[in-house]
Structure 1
Amino acid sequence: MSESDFITLNGRVAVIGADRHPHAAGRLATAGSGLEWLTVPPGGEGPDSIPVISLREDTRLPEGSFRIDTRTEGAAPRIEIVGGPFSGVIYAVEELLRAVRPAPGTGVSVPVTHVERRPALAYRTFWTWDHSTNWELSQVGHQEIGVFNPYGKPPSGFLADYKRMVDFCSQNQIAAIVIYGFFRDNHGGVDDAKELTRYARERGVRILPGVAIGAYGGVYWEGDHPYNLSTYLDAHPDRAADMERGVGFQLADLSFPLNFPRSDYTRTACPSDPNTIDWMADALSWLVETVEPGGVNIEGGDYGVCGCERCMTRRGDREDPNRRDDDAEFWSHADMADNFPRLFEAARGGRDDLWIYCELQWDNLLDSEAHAPLTTLPDGAIYQHTYNRGYWNRVRAELTPQTVADLPTRTNVARAQFACQWNGDERTELYAFNAPVFAELSRHCFDMGMQGLTVWGEPSPFHVSSELSYLAFGRFGFDADLSWDAFLDQDVAPRLGGRGAADEFISIMQELDDHQHLPVERLRTLQGRAFDGARQFTGEQLRRWIWLTDRVNRRAYMGS
């Protein structure tokens, strides 16, 4: 672009709509320290003599979509930003900020442009457990894997971790965060949960507490609370599930055995007891009314099924329990079909703007027999199909748009149970460079007619492999036509010192990822390449190269 393709903002800039979009207006104010930002009172049009930026929501647009129009015909330029509900105005401002560049003096240059964008995948979501989400690195208690873990960080750690995550999501077009372990007494209980949903809502990010029907601690994961499952079962022991087998499973894509220690976290309630479903419905209504989340993620639990006579009779011939004998399944779709409609109505609380996810569990998207009980599930929910690594290899080869169109559920999203701590060798793929995988998953979902994708988001973007992977998730989930080269040029290269430096950085990361063991001599060579890169840069680029150098150093120190 030439200089004529930019306008310069200097001195005073007026903002219309700051009263309705305070976070977006606050982000604009970071564009240039030499600018003086003036707020136009509600109903005002702004002065003609200085630049004006207008922020406006249009509820007719899809959520997260936006338009940016720059006009230069008057005495001073005007930039009009129009966004769809919840997040569109914020996404537009972030897009504008990425395009801003310094101008002579204390001003900034902004492209003269007309931009109109809408998300390719409407539902772009991080999946997390509270205990293993490590975004605030300056505290004790970090964990990296597990499902029944106690929370070992200081009580302030919950908000410290998730506020950082919310900020990143807001700035990078990641729409929602699922949190299992959302309520615990020892990380702030209701008060901190309310603070997090408020903070996220202000920034255009949906918080979706994760719950399971009669499992996973109930709505209130841990604590002395009426909607905690252990508290409930202590008062009503006759409502406990009679599990078909012991709690636990093994993932074929993970090279070491998982541990499921027996504790209060593993207790389950019978899904055929109407009192339990009443209790769950009341708990979900309380959740939505109390903390005003962006939605809820509901599942049946994946560590076992109640096999009592009442459950077997209710399921009838809709479901063959022998499917669970060979570890193919650890859940009941009939349980979801019977109970989810009631819980869906309770969770949305009479509103139609919440995202209510229904988890349909793992590795069965291509299995019409597994879907047979699901024809009665309500429209309006978001139905999530999870892939382990091996199953993703099947899906990418066998899934067709017609398969998706023929599903009994209308709104379908995928969830990757890989490119995370749940697959791979002893290192897992938790800190791997997963950006190519997230790009391919996003494109595949879009091409197949699915409406969203969920990936794990627990490691901090301090880890450059994670940072670049999350950026790919946000960018490719929003723009299905984005090419890999364009992503590298636009998003990766500026962070690493240019395209050549980015290619070198990625080459070293991928060689480390591809080999669990490397000769020390080879690691010394990679160490020298990383150090040579680090010597060329300063600031955040240097920090990222130091991270890579440290990653090689650790491997060399361990001897492979």
Structure 2
Amino acid sequence: MPIHGEELHPHAARLLRDRFDETALSDCNITLTVDDALPEGHFEIAAIEGGAEVRGGPFSGVIYGAQELAARAGRALDLSALSNGPVADGPGLAYRTFWTWDHSTNWELSQIGQQEIGVFNPYQKPPSGFLADYRRLIDFCSDNRIGGIVIYGFLRDSHGGIDAAHELCRYGRERGVRIIPGIAIGAYGGVYWEGRHRYNLSTWLKSNPQHKAQFSRDIGFQIADLDFPLNFPHSDYTVTACPSAPEVLDWMEEAVSWLARTFDIGGINIESGDYGVCDCDRCVARRANDAEAARRAAEYGDSWSHSDMAANFPRLYKAAKAAKPDLWIYCEMQWDNLLEPVAVEAQSALPKGAIYQHTANRTYWQRLRKAITAEEVEALPTQPNVLRCQFACQWNGDARTERYALNARDFADMCIKGREMGMQGLTVWGEPSDYNATSEISYLAFSRFGWDPSLTWEEFVSRDLAPLFGSAENADRFVKIAEEIDANASLPVARLDALADSALEMIQGASPEKARRWLWLANRIAQRRHMGR
């Protein structure tokens, strides 16, 4: 029998054809359909005459339902699991998103030009590298029910420009993964990050130099939890426009509308820019409030402004929603300020329905998780609200980088505590490939705890990690070694030798994928030993 709805849900149908025995599938009646009454990502699987119906909420629900049917029915397509009634499920956190820069997203590992940190970087991979990296990342997100990918550098001439962006959106939508370009108001290259295009900021400012921002200090910022200084070289990437100039907002609104109408995107991540604020008279007057004055007096000054965001974001939000009403529009609330709100009056002007993203570095999260309550989050003028993890990546920690650390417990904690405090989502960095075993485990924790924040760590190890290592005991062993390496910037060589022996011992008789994880860990230890610490 055909899979009814295959033409509208090709990836879900492809998944079922790959998972089920061909003979069993030919004897079964399977229907795939969108149910707009279900929230996004939710699904229901019910028995029907001669088979099963998968109904899913918009964008991703049908795909998730097909995955669930495949997992429950096995290759023989045994539908006995439906005999007691429909099976239904949905995400505990509605908004589960990876944050990425195009230049440092490394999922296709067989190409030159990989980078690991930076915000104003040229793209150094072959032009085809952009799609090669992000297709693999989309596949992972689709398989693991991660709803979207924020991409800074979405439009860049050097990796395919408009044509590559169209193909990426098509690939993501077909697989139920929202592609969410990241932009900033009058900063970060505008809507078209790099290239000779009318919506590229540098290109526009060369024709409209009177609208450049007036900076009273050098561009940049420093993160307190990062123990080395960040570098912000001056270039076309770092030019900024005055957010008080009506002409700038007219141009931004036009560009955002073009972005939403031209590409089959799933959302837009909008921020005010975070490497300096304009100090013209109009901007200074708008930021004349005690909270922002206190930030200007701090050691690193004022690198971003809620007042700028409140003055500009509502118009951009309206333009994007007019083009595509179902977009996820993230409004970046910047970092480490939820307990000490900045420009509360300005925040009250922000529109309901945007997704307000509160970023936390590691030290601040330790404060936040103990101090904030669900009642306080419910009372925020911004609704709904999500967390963004700005640690467990290259932007926090010592020179070793947390990018390849085992960050699974951090992601689990932010899902669990975030849900308790009334947050409706979590965004984490997703740039390193799942080839890196610690990244793989961390991403799985983000996926599983984001879907079900009531999950316990022990359940996660038993259900999700044990199959990767052959047993829960083996998984615990891997986690213990990885966490010891992460916790100590320096270890005696004798201890590193013992840890390497423990990892290499697990390779004997292991399948290729299980051995890959232990080999990766052993190599990481060997690097440490080579450095003598």
Task: Please report the TM-score for the alignment, with normalisation by the length of structure 2.
Answer: 0.96
CA gap 1:452/1:494 in 2 versus in 1, 3 angstroms: same
The superposition leaves residues 381-436 of structure 1 with CA deviations (integer Å, 9 ceiling, x where unpaired) of: 11111001111011011011111011111111110100111011111210011111
Q: CA, structure 1 residues 387+305, in 2 after alignment: closer, same or farther (shift >3 Å)? A: same
* Equivalent residues of 1:66, 1:91 under 8 A apart: yes
1:140 counterpart = 2:112: yes
Count of paired positions: 529
CA distance in 2, matches of 1:218, 1:189: 14
Over residues 251-289 of structure 1, what are the superposed CA-to-partner deviations in whole Å (9 max), with x where a residue is unaligned?
111111111111111110001110010000011111111
Correspondence for 2:143:
171
- What's the secondary structure of 2:18's corresponding residue? coil
One-letter code aligned to 1:137: L
CA distance in structure 2 between the aligned counterparts of 1:527 and 1:263, rounded to whole angstroms = 44
Cross-structure match for 1:378: 351
> Residues of 2 paired with 1:554 and 1:30: CA distance?
40
| Distance change in 2, residues 1:282/1:318 (3 Å) | farther
Following the alignment from structure 2 to structure 1, what is the Cα–Cα distance between the partners of residues 43 and 24? Answer: 25
Query: Deviation per CA, 1:460-481, whole angstroms, max 9, x where unpaired?
Result: 0001111111111111111122
Distance 1:350 1:210 in 2: 17
Matched, 1:152 2:124: yes
CA distance 1:318–1:254, change in 2 (3 Å): closer
Letter of the aligned partner of 2:281 in structure 1?
A: E
Residue number in structure 1 paired with 2:222: 250
Residue of structure 1 equivalent to 2:187: 215
Q: Which residue of 2 aligns with 1:42?
A: none
Change in CA separation of 1:94 and 1:346 when aligned onto 2, cut-off 3 Å: same
Deviating more after overlay: 512-521 vs 90-99: 90-99
Q: Does structure 1 residue 540 correspond to structure 2 residue 517?
A: no
Whole-Å separation in 2 of the counterparts to 1:284 and 1:157: 26
Asked if the contact 1:101–1:110 (Cα under 8 Å) also holds between the matched residues in 2, the reply is no
Q: Cα 1:497–1:328, aligned 2, differ >3 Å: closer, same or farther?
A: farther
Other-structure match for 2:336: 363
Q: Residue 407 of structure 1 aligns with which residue?
A: 380
**Residue of 230, 237, 247 corresponding to 2:209:** 237
From 402, 405, 416, the counterpart of 1:432: 405
1:280 correspondence with 2:227: no
Written as runs of structure 1 = structure 2, the 5 A alignment for 1:457-472 is 457-472=430-445
1:340 matches 2:313: yes
Structure 1 stretch 388-397 or stretch 308-317: which is displaced more? 308-317
Out of 504, 528, 549, the residue aligned to residue 501 of structure 2 is 528
Moved more, 156-165 or 519-528: 519-528
Q: Deviations over 1:29-49 (max 9, x none)?
A: 1114654755xxxxxxxxxxx
1:390 to 344, 356, 363: 363
State the Cα distance separating 1:551 from its structure 2 match: 1.8
Task: Confirm whether residue 131 of structure 1 aligns to residue 103 of structure 2.
Answer: yes
User: Structure 1 96/69 Cα, relative in aligned 2: closer, same or farther at 3 Å?
Assistant: same
**Which letter maps to 1:144?**
E
1:14-63 superposed Cα distances (whole Å, 9 cap, x missing partner): 4222122111000111114654755xxxxxxxxxxx22222121100000
CA–CA distance in 1 between the matches of 2:57 and 2:77? 27
8 Å CA contact 2:292–2:302 kept in 1: the answer is no
Which AA in structure 2 matches 1:513?
D
Q: Which amino acid aligns with 2:13?
A: A
Q: 1:322: Cα distance to partner?
A: 4.0
> 2: distance between equivalents of 1:207 and 1:557?
41
> 480-489 or 407-416: which moved more?
480-489
- 1:18 matched to which residue of 2? 6
Distance in 2 between residues matched to 1:556 and 1:320, nearest whole Å: 47
Does residue 230 of structure 2 align to residue 267 of structure 1? no
Q: Distance in 2 between matches of 1:414 and 1:62?
A: 20
Deviations 1:125-178 (A, max 9, x none): 100000000000000000000111111100000000001000100110100100
Tell me, yes or no, if the aligned pair for 2:215 and 2:279 is still in contact at 8 Å.
yes
- Look up the SS of the partner of 1:80 in the other structure: strand
Structure 2: which amino acid aligns with 1:402? E
Distance in 1 between residues matched to 2:8 and 2:24, nearest whole Å: 20
- What is the identity, as a one-letter code, of the residue corresponding to 2:223? L
Deviation sequence 1:83-121 (CA, Å, 0-9, x none): 11110010112223344545xxxx465661442112111
Match of 2:15 in 1: 27
Matched, 1:352 2:325: yes
SS in 2 for 1:413: strand
State the SS of the aligned residue for 1:277: helix
Provide the C-alpha distance between the structure 2 equivalents of 1:498 and 1:110, rounded to a whole number of angstroms. 28
Answer yes or no: is the 8 Å Cα contact 2:307–2:343 preserved in 1. Answer: no
Once the two structures are superposed, residues 185-234 of structure 1 have per-residue CA deviations (whole angstroms, 9 ceiling, x without a partner) of 10000000011011101111101100000000111111111111111111
The amino acid across from 1:112 in the alignment is A
| Distance in 1 between residues matched to 2:100 and 2:530, nearest whole Å | 31
Contact 1:230–1:267 (8 Å) recurs in 2: yes
Aligned-partner SS, 1:178: strand
Residue 66 of structure 1, aligned match among 30, 43, 56: 43
SS in 1 for 2:118: coil
Q: Secondary structure at the match of 1:345?
A: helix
Give the superposition deviation at 1:489: 1.3
What is the percent sequence identity of the aligned residues?
56
| 2-structure distance, mates of 1:508, 1:447 | 30
* Partner Cα separation in structure 2 for residue 265 and residue 370 of structure 1: 28
* Unpaired stretches in structure 1, ≥5 consecutive residues: 1-12, 39-49
The normalised TM-score by structure 1 is: 0.91
Moved more, 475-484 or 363-372: 363-372
Say whether the 8 Å CA contact 2:108–2:136 is kept in structure 1. Answer: yes
Distance in 2, matches of 1:486 and 1:458, equals 27
Which residue in the other structure is 1:41 paired with?
Answer: none
Letter in structure 1 aligned against 2:336? D
CA distance in 2 between counterparts of 1:386 and 1:513 reads 23
The equivalent of 2:81 in structure 1 is 112
Deviations 1:428-467 (A, max 9, x none): 2100111111111001111111111100000000011111
Q: Deviation of residue 81 (structure 1)?
A: 1.4
Aligned to 1:420: 393
SS where residue 112 of structure 1 aligns?
helix
- CA gap of 1:317–1:547, structure 2 versus 1, over 3 A, is closer
What's the CA shift for 1:516?
1.3
Q: Whole-Å Cα distance in 2 between the matches of residues 17 and 55 of structure 1?
A: 5
1:487 and 2:475 are equivalent in the alignment? no
CA shift in 2, pair 1:314/1:525, >3 Å: closer
1:296 aligns to 2:268 (yes or no): yes
Task: Determine helix, strand or coil for the equivalent of 1:385.
Answer: strand
